Every structure is written in C-alpha cells, then in structure tokens.
A and B are shown apart, each in its own frame.
Chain A
C-alpha cells in the first residue's frame, strides 16, 4: 500500500479483455460484471471487487437477525437439533449435501435454537433461513 506504483493505463479490447500498460510493460486481463461484483482475472489470480452495494459471502454465519442459511443450493440430509436446545460454538446443527459433498452447518457461537425452518430431504436455497439461534 505504501509504495507508489507507476501509472497503469488500461484499454478495453472488447469481449471482456483489457490491455494493461505500465511504462511499456504490457499484460492482458479479463473482467466481467457478475453477481453484483466485478471479477478480474490477471496472471492466474482472481480478484472479486465488490460493488459498493453488495457484500461478499463469508463462511456460514448468522445474519443480524440470528438466522443461519445455506451457503449454496443443497439438500438437507439431517437436522440434528431441536427448538429450545442449547448449542455450543462449533456444534453441527444441520447436515447438507451438495455436489456429492456433505456440508455440516455448525453453530457460529453458543446459543439456543429458537426455530428450525427446514426439514430433512428438502432442497434449500442460499439466503433462505434454515434455523434461528438466540444469544443466551
């Protein structure tokens, strides 16, 4: 962040390609807008620059209202807790399956299960609450 890099001139080449010129050193980058962010590919590395309005996904966690949701479309294999149950951070609450992988949804912190909002065998979508956790 400290060093002052020479100015980079960027020229769109069309079709998602961009020419970078830095003091005569040329490179080609690729960029596209998708999913509320700008995706850039340069020299084997991918950068996702979030648009001001969108926030990138983080590890399965609670939103401000205390709901847990699926990280991706998935099938509910099992719900291993019941409403009223106290859970500790790291406990497996729900087991999902997607793309042949079992994905455990774990409690992000200690708390009490208020409500379970999915059932076994159900196909769940990202963003839809699976379970509500209260802070106790």
Chain B
C-alpha cells in the first residue's frame, strides 16, 4: 500500500479522499490555488503545495504543476477526485511516465471510454443498447446539421469529451440548431479544451439510472448496484437515491450484467459509473447506455450507505495492485439512501451561482445522516470553482425513512450569508410526486412552481427573529456583522 498520496482536487471530494487515507495511515498531500490557501482540504492534509493562480487552468488543471508537487513531496500515487484532471487520459499517462500511480482506470481504458463517441461504439459492439443517435462525419455546422436531421427532433447536442451536463443542449426545432451548436461548442471548448459534438435522440420521459462498477488489475469487475439521478437541473444532478423506484430485481440483473460486460470489454479498472437512460418501469423497461464516467462520482456516498463499503479504500487497494475486496455474490443492498447536493446558488434567479462568505454555516449531526463538505463557517465561496458546498446523505431502512431523515436534517442545516438551494431541497423531499417515486429528468423543471414559491413578505416568525437579532448585543449574535455582499451591490447600483 502507498504511504503518501497526493490529492489533485479541492473542495468536498479532496476532503473525503483524505479522510480515508488518514484512516489507513496514508499521508496526504493537498495542492491548492491562490484562491484556496485557507480552504478546508488544505488544512486537513499532512502537507500542502501551492500550485498556481485561482483560474483552474493555472492550478488544478496544470499537469506539470501537480506532477512537480508530487515529486517534491515524495508522493507515490495521485488521486484525481472528480472533474479537473480525473478523466484526462494524457494526465494518467504522464503520471505513469513519472512513476506515479494514477488512482483510476488505465490510460488506454480511459481513452476508449472518455470519449462518448468511442464509448458508444464499444457499447454497440458489446451488445449493450444505446440511444439512437448520430456521430457527425466532421465538425462543420453543415455536418452536425445533417446528423441532426437524420436523428430528428427533439434531440440533444452533446460534447464528446467531459460530462456533468456542461455544453449539453436540448434542441426542439431546426430553427434553434445554429445557436445551440455555437453555444455547445463554446462551452465544450472552454470546459474540456475540445469542442467536438455529437447528436442524440431525446427520450421524452427518461429516468437517469447509473451503475457503480469497480475493477481490479486481475480482470475482475463487479457492480455495486444502481443510483437513480433523475432529479436534475440543466442536466446537473441535484438529488440521487438508491435503490431506484424504477428498477425491479429483474431489470437490475439485466442492467448490472450489461454494465459489467461493457466495463470488462473496455479493460476497465478502479471505480467507474455506467450511466443509462431508463424508459418506462418494470421488468421489461427499456434501458440505453449513455456514457461511462471513468472516476469516482459525486454521488458515490449513497452506494457506500446501502452496501457498507468504502469506495475510496477500494480504489486505493486496487490501484496498489490488490484484488477486489468483494465478489459480486458478496455484495448486497441494504436499506435506502438519498443524497442532496447543497449548492451556492439562487434557485429563484435561475440557479445563478452565488459567491461570498458563509456568515453562518452549521452542519446537522443526527442518526442516519452523513455530510461531506469542503467548507466551514466564515469560509469564502469563490467565483472560480463550481458551486457545490456540501452533500447531505440520509440513510434509512426504507425509502420513506431516508426521505424523512433527509428533510429533518435539512431543517437543521442553516447556511446564511449567501443564497443556497437548501429551501428548494427541503420542499423537494416533501413533494407528493417525489414521495410517490414518480420521477423523470424533467421533474425539477415541470414542478418549478411548487418548488420555487415567490419571495413573499417575511413571516411574522422570521421578523420576530430578525428583530431579536437587532436588539441582541453583538456578542449574542455571535457572527461577523460586516460582510461585503456580492448581491446587495448588484444589478441596481448607481454609477
């Protein structure tokens, strides 16, 4: 096993990876940008190395700076987390050249799967069903338009590289295509340095169901069941749960077998996720392969909650050459888990990201609740990185128990000073369609009215608390009182 691991990431995932390393007696090395000098992941590491400026390209995406940091600190392995360099085959190969272990799939498997077009071809060759779609012959507007015409509307324009919904555009009519191509290409180039696009048919009431997989160097691949991620906004996941209310034991069997077959064909190792669209419900529901995410997922804790495993520990083990710690037969689901993603954003302003200081931030601690976070009270949320502050994972014996636990915990998760989606998540967990498990990927958009009530007058109770704070001596209020607000100065300032 390694004795020192560099974590090439920031925020909650860097913290989460370091916690398992610490448990295992492995020393951790953090890397950080100028914007993150006081971040939680830096404080928790055994060593920390500054790698550059605040912009991701100058720091968390700088392969040379990260490799230099690994050499300088004597790290033997690099855990990439998710995002940033996690699915970059070139970086994985550069690690190998530098005699560092990249904790993830081998570069050749990444190359086969990291490109969605290549992954799609591999799925077809492995007999795994795919959504009808077309790969343009070349990347001119004319060729993409021709591919779109073959597929038909509505359709999705998707970047070949990357994930997380970035650059993905739904197009409902031919007239909207030119603008959508331009925007998707720009966002893909900005996010992944590659503007290659392909075209896919849009399934109208799809559910997003993915399977966690794990492979070792000795040719074994297992799956750790599904996660349902249908609650999304702009193709970014907001809430995930397992088991899925759409997946019956027979469907689970078929999908799990397909996921393992595909990963085996790709020579996959380490943690990964096979994403499917499910059309319908029941034993005979159709499912289509979407893509493989060649990394640990944001939502991995719900899998850990129902299977009892530590996926990061398993990642470290297989990266060090050990066999998988479990056989397929030994893995089972127990209970239900729901994760909600707590983000610095204002749902009432079209989910506009928010930056500023967390003037008050208190994580709930109660039975069945896990919070993975990368922030603390007083921390500044910067404009440079994504808006995920924390993940709250609720586990219960049943879906209903997990749902009620999640709601109760959100009622005791105050985050003040910048807007977050906590109130939206709390309402989501008590929405009747969510309670019924009647989900599809349009859920948030179609239920927006119920989930995003207009800003009314403050309630009498809230006013009474505000008045009490005004009257209370500064010592009793306990929190800083002069924090610059990116919002109040906004928009309607005078010149």
Q: A12-B472, A33-B469, A103-B352 are in contact. Are A47 and B492 (CB under 8 A)?
A: no
Asked whether A35 lies within 8 Å of B352 as measured between CB atoms, the reply is: no
Q: Which residues of A contact B423 (CB under 8 A)?
A: 44-46
Q: Which residues of A contact B483 (CB under 8 A)?
A: 34-35
- Residue A24 CB within 8 A of the other chain: no
Asked whether A72 lies within 8 Å of B352 as measured between CB atoms, the reply is: yes
Chain A 28-48 interface 0/1 with B at a Cβ cutoff of 8 Å (1 = within): 011111111111111111110
List residues of A (25-82) whose CB comes within 8 Å of B's CBs. Answer: 27, 29-47, 49, 54-61, 63-65, 67, 69-74, 77
Q: Which of A31, A97, A102 contacts B466 (CB 8 A)?
A: A31
- Interchain Cβ contacts within 8 Å, total number: 212
- Residue B487 CB within 8 A of the other chain: yes
Tell me the complex Cα distance, A120–B1, Å.
Answer: 49
Q: A46-B423, A101-B353 are in contact. Are A38 and B469 (CB under 8 A)?
A: yes
- In the complex, how many angstroms separate the beta carbon of B486 from the nearest chain A beta carbon? 5
Q: A39-B416, A39-B417, A102-B183 are in contact. Are A34 and B485 (CB under 8 A)?
A: yes
- Residue A89 CB within 8 A of the other chain: no
- In the complex, how many angstroms separate the beta carbon of B73 from the nearest chain A beta carbon? 29
- Residue A111 CB within 8 A of the other chain: no
Asked whether A99 lies within 8 Å of B464 as measured between CB atoms, the reply is: no
- Residue A98 CB within 8 A of the other chain: yes
Chain B 392-404 interface 0/1 with A at a Cβ cutoff of 8 Å (1 = within): 0000000000000
Most buried by B among A39, A45, A74: A39
Q: Which residues of A contact B187 (CB under 8 A)?
A: 102
Most buried by B among A11, A29, A41, A102: A41
Q: Which of A14, A29, A49, A127 contacts B490 (CB 8 A)?
A: A127
Tell me the complex Cα distance, A127–B356, Å.
Answer: 15
- Residue B454 CB within 8 A of the other chain: no
Tell me the complex Cα distance, A47–B423, Å.
Answer: 10
Q: Which residues of A contact B416 (CB under 8 A)?
A: 16, 30-32, 34, 39-41, 46
User: Smallest CB-CB separation from A65: which chain B residue?
Assistant: B495
Asked whether B465 lies within 8 Å of A46 as measured between CB atoms, the reply is: no
User: Smallest CB-CB separation from B190: which chain A residue?
Assistant: A97
Q: Which residues of A contact B495 (CB under 8 A)?
A: 63, 65, 67, 129
* Chain A binding surface SS class: strand
- Residue A15 CB within 8 A of the other chain: yes
Most buried by B among A10, A44, A46: A44
Q: Which residues of A contact B422 (CB under 8 A)?
A: 44, 46
Q: Which residues of B contact A99 (CB under 8 A)?
A: 353, 355, 383-387
List residues of B (330-356) whose CB comes within 8 Å of A's CBs. Answer: 349, 352-356
Binds A, one of B110-118, B150-158, B357-365: B357-365
Tell me the complex Cα distance, A64–B352, Å.
Answer: 23
Q: Which of A8, A10, A41, A71 contacts B414 (CB 8 A)?
A: A41
Q: A72-B352, A73-B486 are in contact. Are A60 and B468 (CB under 8 A)?
A: no
Asked whether A20 lies within 8 Å of B464 as measured between CB atoms, the reply is: yes
- Residue B255 CB within 8 A of the other chain: no
Asked whether B490 lies within 8 Å of A32 as measured between CB atoms, the reply is: no
Tell me the complex Cα distance, A97–B387, Å.
Answer: 13
List residues of B (164-202) whose CB comes within 8 Å of A's CBs. Answer: 166, 183, 186-187, 190-191
Asked whether A34 lies within 8 Å of B359 as measured between CB atoms, the reply is: yes
- Residue A126 CB within 8 A of the other chain: yes
Tell me the complex Cα distance, A5–B461, Å.
Answer: 9
- In the complex, how many angstroms separate the beta carbon of B98 from the nearest chain A beta carbon? 28
Asked whether B353 lies within 8 Å of A49 as measured between CB atoms, the reply is: no
Asked whether A44 lies within 8 Å of B461 as measured between CB atoms, the reply is: no
Q: Which residues of A contact B419 (CB under 8 A)?
A: 46
Q: A31-B416, A42-B461, A46-B422 are in contact. Are A127 and B352 (CB under 8 A)?
A: no
- Residue B463 CB within 8 A of the other chain: yes
Q: Which residues of A contact B468 (CB under 8 A)?
A: 10-12, 18, 31
Asked whether B491 lies within 8 Å of A61 as measured between CB atoms, the reply is: yes
Q: Which of A49, A70, A100 contacts B458 (CB 8 A)?
A: A49
Tell me the complex Cα distance, A14–B475, Å.
Answer: 7
Q: Which residues of A contact B469 (CB under 8 A)?
A: 12, 18, 31-33, 38, 40
- In the complex, how many angstroms separate the beta carbon of A20 from the nearest chain B beta carbon? 6
Q: A8-B460, A30-B362, A98-B353 are in contact. Are A44 and B407 (CB under 8 A)?
A: yes
Q: Which residues of B contact A40 (CB under 8 A)?
A: 416, 458, 462, 465-466, 469
Chain B 473-487 interface 0/1 with A at a Cβ cutoff of 8 Å (1 = within): 001111111011111
Extra contacts, 13 of them, besides A44-B407, A72-B486 (Cβ < 8 A), are A5-B460, A10-B468, A16-B416, A29-B461, A31-B360, A31-B469, A31-B477, A40-B469, A54-B488, A63-B492, A71-B491, A72-B355, A73-B486
Chain A interface (Cβ within 8 Å of chain B)?
1, 5, 8, 10-12, 14-16, 18, 20, 22, 27, 29-47, 49, 54-61, 63-65, 67, 69-74, 77, 97-103, 126-127, 129
Interchain Cβ contacts under 8 Å between A and B, 19 examples: A10-B465, A10-B467, A12-B469, A22-B461, A31-B416, A31-B466, A34-B480, A45-B423, A46-B419, A57-B487, A57-B491, A58-B492, A63-B491, A63-B493, A70-B490, A73-B355, A102-B187, A126-B486, A126-B493
Chain B interface (Cβ within 8 Å of chain A)?
166, 183, 186-187, 190-191, 349, 352-357, 359-360, 362, 383-387, 407, 410-411, 414-417, 419-420, 422-423, 426-427, 457-470, 472, 475-481, 483-495
